[in-house]
Structure 1
Amino acid sequence: MIAVVGIGVDGWDGLSPAARDEVEAAQVLMGDARQLEMVPGDHERVTWPSPMLPALPGLFEANRHRRVCVLASGDPLFHGIGSTLIRLLGADRVRIVPHPSSVSLACARLGWPVDDVEVVSTVGKPVELLHPVLHPGRRVLVLGSTPLAVADLLAARGYGDSVVTVLERLGGPGERVHDDLSYVDPLHVLAIEVVGTAVRSRVPGLPESDYEHDGQITKREVRAVTLAQLAPVPGQLLWDVGAGAGSIAIEWARVHPACRAFGIEHHPERAERIGRNARALGVPGVHVVVGKAPEALEGLERPSAVFIGGGLTVPGVVEACWEALLPGGRLVVNAVTLESEAVIAAWHPRLGGDLTRIAINRGSPVGGFTGWRPHMPVTTWAVTKETE
């Protein structure tokens, strides 16, 4: 059994009796150098190597017959080593003794209800993850980012008047709460009270103007219908085949932080554009696969949903997507040409599903008046794979 003890900036003095008992009973202490210096005792001390994750199995195997206590920052199960060790060793081999997290301490200082705060960790991740949670009047806590990077992002989104508070070394003797963004202690949390009028909904169907594109983009009305048919579910993976600007993959990923997406695009410039769009819209984790389907699909993780927006007429694309699709998964195909509609007409009798024709007309100036301008109609085929 591995004990994982959360420890704060206040060190040994801030540990509960239960946490102290775990530390004192250990033969081996593991943690980073700062944490190991905080506790007394004549233990063998192991500082995390770099890189840490590949070394963990060997470390615990070498100490499998000894009492090991791991020191972790704050709550070990909140973006911490505790979650990693449970995945590695199993919950039955890990005992967690938590300390108040930096989020709990920050909310306590600010008087913010914890259940009404968005928390974004940018530790080792792009600051663009903030985009989806920025809405007027919301409160956000940011872990692991620099204040100036956050301030620049807020200004770029039209939220430059937001109030940014720095909370340093929470719970320790050097604790400070201030608004000077020019220099901060490495142990800090940023609190944002979002002020501004810019609004970008998380509901699918963003305006085309939110994307960088060359015209190869699913229109927002069709996109909203398509995402409803794909039915994003947290934790599931989407393949966006022939991704173009990446709008389907991006808006799938925006539904929930656990929604994952691969954008498959053979055109290198468009593939680069997908990456830029994903970062700008707050889902930098969208994985861009540069290549032509069906060859580019080989070896990819099997998806729970597949959207085919381009390359439908290429031989083998539908077969490869359907074969890879997990049982219970959804396949959605959009067609705008007679040739692509012919592919749908050939496959629909074999697999079933629903056919929908979407015709969009948008109002636009006609001289001094307003008239309707039609867009090309889109035929949508949506089918669910039977469970095995």
Structure 2
Amino acid sequence: MSDPWLSIIGMGEDGPAGLPDASRRALAKAELVFGAPRHLALADAGARGRPWPVPFDLAPLLALRGQRVAALVSGDPFWCGAGGTIAAVLNRDEWRAYPAPGVISLAAARLGWRLEDCVTLGLHAAPFARLRPHLARGCRIIATLRDGDAPRALADWLAA
């Protein structure tokens, strides 16, 4: 594989300290770093940092084609993450992925739930209404949310 312009880097809550060497090298080489505000802060991206637009839009990232860019995402970039969205619009030789354990598998491990018995949803960029078809007694749901305020908003939505 050639040297792609984009590195899609999965990061855990421990930030760069928990990244494998290859991921850390890719992050260090990046001229610009896209990510959620908390990822940019964890990575100490400083002036290189660019927050993902809300609603999510790849146009600012794609405009940097040819520059050395890192995209920070939570855990596994291809499980309820931006990796699949990014890869769908780029040629395979334009990007390299550096996955980390994903939040979905980490949550299942903490709860002791088998992933194959769970409904998993990415609600960080989708309406809570995506939950509706799955709300049933005994259904185990693991869902990603946008930020620290989202659990309260989800609880309010469920109680309404």
TM-score class, shorter-chain normalisation, is 0.7 to 0.9
- Structure 2 counterpart of 1:56, which letter? L
Partners of 1:138 and 1:69 in 2: CA distance: 37
Aligned-partner Cα distance in 2 for 1:95–1:141 = 27
Describe the SS at the equivalent of 2:42: coil
Aligned to 1:82: 83
Amino acid in the other structure paired with 1:13: A
Which residue is equivalent to 1:9?
13
Question: Following TM superposition, by how much is the alpha carbon of 1:74 offset from its aligned partner in structure 2, in angstroms?
Answer: 1.8
Matched residues, number: 148
Q: Hey, what does 1:226 align to over in structure 2?
A: none
- Secondary structure in structure 2 of the residue aligned to 1:37: helix
Code of the residue aligned with 2:38 in structure 1: it is: R
Q: 2:138 maps to what in 1?
A: 137
What is the rounded CA distance, in whole Å, between the counterparts of 1:71 and 1:136 in structure 2? 36
Structure of greater relative contact order (alpha carbons < 8 Å, 6+ residues apart) = 2
Deviations 1:313-351 (A, max 9, x none): xxxxxxxxxxxxxxxxxxxxxxxxxxxxxxxxxxxxxxx
User: Corresponding residue for 2:115?
Assistant: 114
- Post-superposition offset of 1:47: 3.3
Counterpart CA distance in 2 for 1:126 and 1:105 is: 23
Give the superposition deviation at 1:69: 1.5
- Separation (CA, whole Å) in 2 of partners of 1:139 and 1:112: 8
Identify the residue that residue 103 of structure 1 maps to in structure 2: 104
Contact 2:10–2:76, Cα closer than 8 Å, also in 1: yes
Give the equivalent residue in structure 2 for 1:123.
124
Aligned Cα RMSD in Å?
2.5
Query: How far off is 1:67 after superposition?
Result: 2.1
In structure 1, the gaps of 5 or more residues are: 154-388
Q: Which runs of 5+ in 2 are unaligned?
A: none
Cα deviations across residues 22-74 of structure 1 (Å, max 9, x unaligned)? 2123233222332122225787333334555143332x23xx1x322111122
The question of 1:148 aligning with 2:156 is answered: yes
Which protein has the larger Cα radius of gyration, Structure 1 or Structure 2? 1
Structure with bigger helix share is 2
Q: TM-score, normalised by structure 2?
A: 0.76
Tell me the amino acid that sits aligned with residue 26 of structure 1.
Answer: A
The structure with the greater share of residues assigned to strand is 1
Q: Percent identity?
A: 31
Please report the TM-score for the alignment, with normalisation by the length of structure 1: 0.35
Relative to 1, partners in 2 of residues 1:135 and 1:17: Cα closer, same or farther, differing over 3 Å? same
The secondary structure found in structure 1 opposite 2:70 is strand
1:57 is aligned to 62
